[in-house]
Amino acid sequence: MLKVSTLVLICKDIGFDEFFQEFLFNKVEICDELKNKIIESRKIYEREAKKGNVYGYSTSLGALINKQNVHNREREKIILREHDTSIGKNVPSLLIKATMLVRLIQLSKGNSPVRIEVIERLRDAINNNIIPIVPILGSVGASGDLAPLSRIFRCLIYGEGFAYYNNEKVSCNDALHNSGLEIFELEPGEALALINSNAFSTAMSLINTYVIEKIFNLSLDVAKESLYLSGCNNQHYSEAIYETKKQPGVKTVIEKLNNPCLDTPRLQDPYSIRCIPQIYGALFDTIGFSKEVLKNEMNSSSDNPIIYSGNVYHACQFHAIYSGIISDFLKTAAIPVMNSVERRISQLLDGKINRKSDFLLKEKSVVGAMIMQYTAASISAYSRGSSISMSSHSIPTSGMQEDVVSMAPNSSLELMKINGLFLRLVSIEKAINMFNEEKDLPDPKDLLEKSYEYLINKGDLNKYSELLNYFF
């Protein structure tokens, strides 16, 4: 169950780590300064829209922009209904909660043409822990995450569909009613404003980046354990290395390893041992870059049109290409680390490296820890199939009007898959170390289960287990 407790205030840009540590699991409120800006922006929008030629106010949408619509109360509801085309397995509930929070942060900037009452409805849903049930497939990450956001707001505005509420699946209407919230009507342009956003894409990339950083740290801790077993040359992790390699990640990794070599059996270790600072350092720096980009995206307007300096502007703020590229970037940086984990597992089973026995054979062993490397090889090979860039696979939508889309949700789906595989691969390396420490003949199945549970608890990943177990 996703619980909320302390009240936190949205009043300025929110940091990446702050999003998870202070906002995602607490109640939220918007400061009065931003509320006043929101109210003023709606007035500007209505004033300019009545002059004509404002997208979505009386025009139709997408390639049908030149078709005029007469506004009535039913029109906004129809917009949400006709955009609600998601299919497939349900999105993890924490990801929907993160999407709602990202959308609230974006709307609170006061550049969106929605009334304060609409934004307060989203706030109230978050604070009452109403999490709409949304299928995973359907967004191309441009012209907004139209399908998933439509499902969310059909639930929160009109009470249509189903939601998780108090850890139970209930109708959205019941969830609203039990929270003291009533169904209300949207005004012209508000349905478009709610869904013409990249909040779903941004939230997916945000949450997967947060998780991969935790897995990175866990993997580095386990790698340090492996170096105790393998032995290594401390020259590989010395000051000379980070002073002559001008990449901050290399220095960070070396400092975290903290001279791990108790003995030096070899002049030059295999790359999966010797090159840990460089391979892991590249992922560390990629994560740092990604966090900064996503922090900016989360705190940006993602509407079309937007309100700025007393005027209405039409633009492409909803395009989720930043989030898509970041997810692709992180996949690319994670897979070399995963390759190194698998190769280090293989090295640890070499008697010349572990200086004990091939495959860490024990008394009565037949194959020792040999077959755990098979599992690691399977995972490592599978992960490489997810390395392709999804954000480069644009397919035009809405005729030829929306001719270059981001496919950011697809990028993040693959990153979510990589995260699950990455953690399982690290758990195998951890299990190899546990196997080595056992005096009696251990059961690899038990060690693999224990190592995975250990990593989940040590990395404080229990809240994210639905994402990590989504595919496997």
d(CA 393, CA 413): 14
Domains by residue range for the chain, with CATH: 7-197 (1.10.275.10), 203-468 (1.20.200.10)
pTM beyond 0.85: the answer is yes
SS3 of the chain: CCCCCCEEEECCCCCHHHHHHHHCCCEEEECHHHHHHHHHHHHHHHHHHCCCCCCCCCECCHHHCCCECCCCHHHHHHHHHHHCCCEEEECCHHHHHHHHHHHHHHHCCCCCCCCHHHHHHHHHHHHCCCEECCEEECCCCCCCCHHHHHHHHHHHHHCCCEEEECCEEEEHHHHHHHCCCCCCCCCCCHHHHHHCCCHHHHHHHHHHHHHHHHHHHHHHHHHHHHHHHHCCCHHHHCHHHHHHCCCHHHHHHHHHHCCCCCCCCCCCCCHHHHCHHHHHHHHHHHHHHHHHHHHHHHCCCCCCCEEECCEEECCCCCCCHHHHHHHHHHHHHHHHHHHHHHHHHHHHCCHHHHCCCHHHCCCCCCCCCHHHHHHHHHHHHHHHCCCCCCCCCCCCECCCCECCCCCHHHHHHHHHHHHHHHHHHHHHHHHHHHHHHCCCCCCHHHHHHHHHHHHHHHCCCHHHHHHHCCCC
Ranges of the chain with pLDDT below 70: 1-5, 58, 60, 62-63, 65-71
pLDDT at 1: 43
Task: Tally Cβ neighbours within 10 Å of residue 364.
Answer: 7
pLDDT at 54: 82
Nearest to 54 by CA among 305, 316, 310, 311: 305
Peptide bond connecting 305 to the previous residue in cis, omega within 30 degrees of 0: yes
pLDDT of residue 186: 95
Q: What digits encode the pLDDT tens for the residues 285-319?
A: 999 999 999 999 999 999 989 999 999 998 888 99
pLDDT tens-place string over residues 229-254:
999 999 999 999 999 999 999 999 99
